Structure formats: C-alpha cells, structure tokens
Chain A
Amino acid sequence: MSDKKGSATDLLQVIAQEGGNLLLRSAVELGDLSVTVSAENLSAFLSLCKGSPALSFNLLVDITAVDWMDSRDSRFEVVYQLLSLSKLWRLTVTVPVPEGAPEVPSVVSLWAGANFLEREVWDMFGIRFKGHPDLRRILLYEEFVGHPLRKDYPVQGKQPRIPLRAPEVENTARRMERPDLVTIRARRGSKASDEARSAGE
C-alpha cells in the first residue's frame, strides 16, 4: 500500500498483456490507473477485467458520466470504477460518447449492480445503455423534460407542470346531494321561544 504508484503501473502492465489491444489510452493519475476504451470494445474489455484471473475485477463500484461540452471531441464520457477484492486494485475505465448518438452497451449482464447505476446515468445525462432490461428514469419522474446534469441544463431551470397520472379521484363530497337547509326552531320552554311566542301574540 505504501507504493501506490508502483501498484498502478504493475496493473497497467497486466492489463496491457491481457487486453492491450482494446485500450485507446491509459494514464496513471494521482496514483490511480485510468484507461480509456471505445464504446465498441467496452463489453469485451469489462468482461475481460471481470473474468481474467490475473485481473479479477469482481466488484463494480460506480458508474457515472461527465459532460465535457465543447472541450472534447466527444461530448460525454461514461466513467466506470472497478475494484478487485482479491488483489485490492482499483481501475477507472472511461468511454467517450458522442453527442449525436449517446449510447453505450449495458453491463447489467456482467454486474447486476449496474442496473440502478445505469438508470441514474440515463436519468441525469440522457445516455442510453443498449441492452439494459429496464431503462427508466430513477431519481426523477418520467415526465421530466431534459437531463439535469448536462452542462446546458440551467441550474435554476423550471419544469412544466404535469397533469396527474391517474384520473383524479373525484371529491365525492362535492357531488353529494345536500338536504335542504333545516329551519332551526327554538325549543319550547326556552327563554327565546317564550319571547318569540309573546312577540307573535
């Protein structure tokens, strides 16, 4: 653990041996290894990371995305964090995703835990995951317009009001037939009734 940088370069060597042809770029940043693969090679590379005994990245820690706007060739970047429980290695895998067709293959078949994480990325960035069994919004509601973590979504953006999904349960009390107003009469024997009687007389 003391030599973190060393372990990241060791890991890079192993990855280069196992599937170096799948990598676009690799860099050791702040002691952690991050590799870039294309969307076509993503499934192959991640199943290699999970399946290869030399790597054994069995835990998918996180999936998120970054919106780079115009500062990069492809606007989005999907970021996977992997962890090997046996070798105690961490790996960051990034995938550039173009703005025109924001889609990457889903990894739910590799890790069941990817289900919610991919739904969140779809919800927040509008990046589709091909092959996801149930790609619905997760933190926001279905009628939400736009994807809020994109940089062009305003921080103070207002959403249109949505109609109720199910027909509103009618307030039946309003429909209820009201009986005619009951005339209130003073009870006999009371002071008021006595006065009324005397007035009438």
Chain B
Amino acid sequence: MDDSKLLDVDFGVGGITTSIRPRPLGDDLHSETMVVNLGPAHPATHGTIRIVAELSGEKIVDADVDVGYLHRGFEKMSETVDYNQVMPYTDRLNYVSPAINNFGWCLTIEKLLQIEAPKRAQYIRVILSEISRVADHLTCLGASAMELGAFTVMLYMMEARELLWDMIEEVTGARLTVSYGRVGGVKDDLTPDFGEKTVDVFKKVREHLVNCDRLLTRNRIFIDRMCDIALLTAEEAINYSLTGPMLRGSGVKHDLRKAFPYSSYEDFDFEVPVGSKGDNYDRFLVRFAEMEQALRICEQAIKNLPEGPIIVSDPHIALSPKDEVYNSIDGMINHFELVMYGVKPPKGSVYQGIEGANGELGFYVVSDGSGKPYRAHVRSPSFIHMGSMRKMLLGANVSDLVPTFGMINMIGGECDR
C-alpha cells in the first residue's frame, strides 16, 4: 500500500500504533473501509488483547493483533531467583492450569540435572495435570459458549471446574497459584481419601459434560456460529506453528504425550481426538473429547498409583526430611545449602516441551552452573496461536472474531509472560 494514500485518523485516547488504516474500496460509491479498534478491555473478550480490524461492511479485510498488555517480565525475573523459586512465577503463566506449568518447569530442570522423579511423583503429576487440563478446557469452552449467548453452559461448566479445583485444592492447598511442583518430585503426597473422592467428583463432572453436550453440540445457533469459521488446513496449521487442540482440530494427530512421552504417559491408554476440517467447531469438539480422555487417564493413574517416595532423595536437589535436618549436622548443612544456594544443575542448555492444555508448553533453560538460571525462556502456545489469528480472521465477519478468539483460548499470563 502506498504510504501517501494513508489517511491520518485519530483514534482517541492512547493513540494507535498499527499499520492498519482505512483505504478506498475502489467501487463506484467512493466509500472506504472502516477501522474498528477492539480492546484492550472489551466486554466480549476474556483477556487483555487489542485487535485493530479493518472492515469492509461486516467483512474483516485486515487485522492487527496486538498482545503484550499483561507482560510482567517472567523471563527476566526468572534470571534473578533460584530454580525452585521460579515455581510461583510459572503458576502465573497459564493460570487456569497452573499445575501443568509447574511440572513443565520441573521436567526441564530434571532433564538438565539428568534425574527422573520417582514413579509415584510422576503419577501424581499426571493426575494433577489431567485434572488441570479438564479445568482449562472447561474454562475455554464455558467462556466461549457464554460469549455466544449460552450462559447456562457457562454455569454448568464453572460448577464442574469448581469441583475439580476443589480436588486440586485438597492436594496442593491452593486453587490457582498451586506452586506444587518441586525439582525432583512434588511438594506433598495425595490425601489418603483422594481416590474415593475423585470417583464422586468425576461422576458429577461427567453429568455436567453430558448436559453441556446436549446444550451445545447439536445446537443450531451454536453450530451456525462455529462451523466453517476460521478454517485452517493441516498445512496452514503446521506453517503457523500451531500445537495442541488447535493443531489437532486441523486434523494433525500430534500429541506430545504420545509422541515424546514424559512423566510415564506411556503407561496410560488414551485416545488423541482429531478434527476433520480445522474450523472453530472442530476445535470445540477436540477439546470436548479431550476432557473425557483426560478423566480416563486420571482414573487409570489413581487406580495404578505406585507406592514409594514422592521426591528424589538426593539432598543436593530436594530438601532432606526434617528428622535429619534437626538431628544431624549433615542434614542441617544440606538444608542450609539448598535453601541458600538452590539446586545447581551442570552447565548446559536444554529444551523440554510438554503437552499443555493449549498446546506445546516448552521451557528453554540455559544453566551456567550456578543456582540461578542464566536464561529461562517459555515457548507459550497462546502467544504463537495469536500469531495465526490474523490469518483466521481474514474474510470472516466481525461476529466471528469473538468465537475465534475463544477457541484460541488465549490466556493473558501465558501469552504475554
């Protein structure tokens, strides 16, 4: 576009830094496109995000997706604290499924240390990850359904999520900011009656899921708003680096839990649902089917939960038992060293990706041999999925913007870090 033809328009308070400007439509009516600024605080979007859309009538002819309103400098802050102290920061990445972020970080540091968490810890990680995944999908689908007018579904899903968060709270002591992972294992064991409680909770969650399925999946209005919107073929999805439900919605059967099993995921029997067309409806169906699979994994893990320790016994990695700390000089020294200087992985760099609720959640960590990460980087699925949003919106209607954004399931904390 020729710069001289740009029209200078004032968009009010705060101004606008975008290349998107109205342009003549070139028809007989001498009309031009209209630029609409959506966000960063818009009632129809959950999360702070700005989309500057250029409209011709109701069609989106160009869009600028502006992220970064929740940037808190996760990566810079991580360089100033030791490896276990990063854990609370990871809670605040994808704050709908914080346990998964915790374990992703733990696995990365464990790979750097060349250790493996005990089998029981791995199973506990699987249980909490899968409960978090269901909670994440419930939030995504519930919020999206609400934005399309199905408020009842939102309430059902929030109730189901609350039941699951109660389970997480029982184990970790917190609903959202769990900080439950530890390098080499997990913080606490499951409560003794956790298994029995989940039977009841999962039964209720499944009832809610059946209700929501009845309300949404074959609902005419819902299908009309979701079907054939924001289409991405398998090649396009790969080209835009999509992962997780977005990639599987486009028909690519790729799941890191199957492709590169971590945390004993190879022990469990589960399906990887895939879509056929790659539209918003497929993404919805994939997420819905994944919830059932996640519950199945959970049940298998609870049933076959092995006995044993929940954290490695190396005193240079995990805190020693309190008996040793208070009653022996070695135990006291080890405790002191670990608290003061932290875990010290050998020099090197490592990338570890795990299957987060939204896609591949990866951590790239560079260690210089000291107790603090030299560099910590998060490969956040939300951020990368937002990169494909422009492509999905081109040619769509303004009203398609909200469901598309909902199905990307951008979590501000994860996207902007």
A binds B: yes
Chain A interface residues (CB < 8 Å from chain B): 1, 29-30, 32, 34, 58-62, 64, 66-67, 79, 81, 85, 88, 90, 92, 111-117, 120, 124, 134, 136, 138-142, 148-149, 153, 155, 164-169
- Asked if A149 meets B76 with Cβ closer than 8 Å, knowing A59-B241, A112-B240, A134-B19, the reply is yes
7 A-B Cβ contacts within 8 A? A29-B348, A59-B241, A64-B364, A66-B366, A113-B242, A139-B71, A149-B76
* Chain A interface, DSSP helix/strand/loop, else mixed: loop
- Asked if A140 meets B71 with Cβ closer than 8 Å, knowing A59-B238, A168-B13, the reply is yes
Closest 7 CB pairs of A and B: A165-B15, A113-B241, A116-B387, A166-B15, A139-B68, A62-B379, A64-B377
Q: Are A117 and B12 in contact (CB under 8 A)?
A: no
Least CB distance from B21 to A in Å reads 14
Q: Are B16 and A166 in contact (CB under 8 A)?
A: yes
Q: Are B375 and A66 in contact (CB under 8 A)?
A: yes
With CB as the reference atom, state the residue of chain B lying closest to A117. Answer: B384
Least CB distance from A98 to B in Å reads 18
Query: Is B388 in contact with chain A by the CB < 8 A criterion?
Result: yes
Q: Are B12 and A169 in contact (CB under 8 A)?
A: yes
- Bound complex: CA A38 to CA B366 (Å): 21
The residues of A that contact B111 with a CB separation of less than 8 Å are 30
Query: Is B4 in contact with chain A by the CB < 8 A criterion?
Result: no
- Asked if A85 meets B75 with Cβ closer than 8 Å, knowing A29-B350, A117-B384, the reply is no
- Asked if A29 meets B17 with Cβ closer than 8 Å, knowing A1-B260, A85-B238, A149-B76, the reply is no
The residues of A that contact B261 with a CB separation of less than 8 Å are 1
Q: Are A30 and B350 in contact (CB under 8 A)?
A: yes
- Bound complex: CA A177 to CA B4 (Å): 41
- Bound complex: CA A141 to CA B112 (Å): 34
The residues of B that contact A142 with a CB separation of less than 8 Å are 17
Q: Are B13 and A81 in contact (CB under 8 A)?
A: no
Least CB distance from B101 to A in Å reads 16
Query: Is B219 in contact with chain A by the CB < 8 A criterion?
Result: no
With CB as the reference atom, state the residue of chain A lying closest to B13. Answer: A169
Query: Is B344 in contact with chain A by the CB < 8 A criterion?
Result: no
Query: Is B10 in contact with chain A by the CB < 8 A criterion?
Result: yes
How many residues from B make CB contacts under 8 Å with A?
A: 55
Q: Are A92 and B67 in contact (CB under 8 A)?
A: no
The residues of A that contact B348 with a CB separation of less than 8 Å are 29-30
- Bound complex: CA A141 to CA B350 (Å): 30
- B67-87 toward A: CB 8 Å interface, digit per residue (1/0)? 110010101110110000000
CB within 8 Å of A: which of B1-37? 10-17, 19
- Bound complex: CA A195 to CA B2 (Å): 78
Taking A29-B348, A148-B76, A155-B79 as known contacts, 19 extra A-B pairs with beta carbons closer than 8 A to each other, sorted by chain A number, are A30-B112, A30-B348, A32-B351, A64-B377, A66-B349, A66-B366, A81-B353, A85-B252, A85-B254, A92-B349, A111-B239, A111-B241, A112-B387, A136-B17, A139-B416, A149-B75, A164-B13, A165-B17, A166-B13
- Bound complex: CA A164 to CA B353 (Å): 41
Q: Are B366 and A166 in contact (CB under 8 A)?
A: no
The residues of B that contact A111 with a CB separation of less than 8 Å are 239-241
With CB as the reference atom, state the residue of chain B lying closest to A4. Answer: B260
The residues of B that contact A62 with a CB separation of less than 8 Å are 351, 362, 364, 377, 379
Q: In the complex, which of the residues B112, B240, B241, B386 has the most CB atoms of chain A within 10 Å of its own CB atom? A: B241
Q: In the complex, which of the residues B10, B259, B349 has the most CB atoms of chain A within 10 Å of its own CB atom? A: B349
Q: Are B71 and A116 in contact (CB under 8 A)?
A: no
Which residue in A67, A114, A120, A165 is a CB contact (below 8 Å) of B14?
A165
- Bound complex: CA A91 to CA B271 (Å): 27
- Asked if A61 meets B388 with Cβ closer than 8 Å, knowing A139-B68, A166-B14, A169-B12, the reply is no
Least CB distance from A169 to B in Å reads 5
- Bound complex: CA A136 to CA B111 (Å): 35
Q: Are B349 and A29 in contact (CB under 8 A)?
A: yes
- Asked if A88 meets B11 with Cβ closer than 8 Å, knowing A60-B241, A116-B386, A138-B68, the reply is no
The residues of B that contact A66 with a CB separation of less than 8 Å are 349, 366, 374-375
- Bound complex: CA A23 to CA B302 (Å): 48
Least CB distance from A120 to B in Å reads 7
The residues of A that contact B12 with a CB separation of less than 8 Å are 166, 169
Q: Are B375 and A58 in contact (CB under 8 A)?
A: no
- Bound complex: CA A34 to CA B241 (Å): 20
The residues of B that contact A29 with a CB separation of less than 8 Å are 348-350
Q: Are A81 and B379 in contact (CB under 8 A)?
A: yes
Q: Are A167 and B10 in contact (CB under 8 A)?
A: yes
- Bound complex: CA A141 to CA B260 (Å): 37
With CB as the reference atom, state the residue of chain B lying closest to A151. Answer: B79
- Asked if A61 meets B362 with Cβ closer than 8 Å, knowing A85-B252, A116-B386, the reply is yes
- Bound complex: CA A1 to CA B261 (Å): 8
Q: Are A92 and B351 in contact (CB under 8 A)?
A: yes
- Asked if A61 meets B76 with Cβ closer than 8 Å, knowing A113-B239, A116-B384, the reply is no
Q: In the complex, which of the residues A88, A164, A166 has the most CB atoms of chain B within 10 Å of its own CB atom? A: A166
Least CB distance from B161 to A in Å reads 29
Least CB distance from B67 to A in Å reads 7
- Asked if A113 meets B387 with Cβ closer than 8 Å, knowing A59-B238, A139-B67, the reply is yes
Query: Is B360 in contact with chain A by the CB < 8 A criterion?
Result: yes
Least CB distance from A53 to B in Å reads 15
- Asked if A113 meets B71 with Cβ closer than 8 Å, knowing A66-B375, A81-B362, the reply is no
- Bound complex: CA A137 to CA B10 (Å): 21
The residues of A that contact B46 with a CB separation of less than 8 Å are none
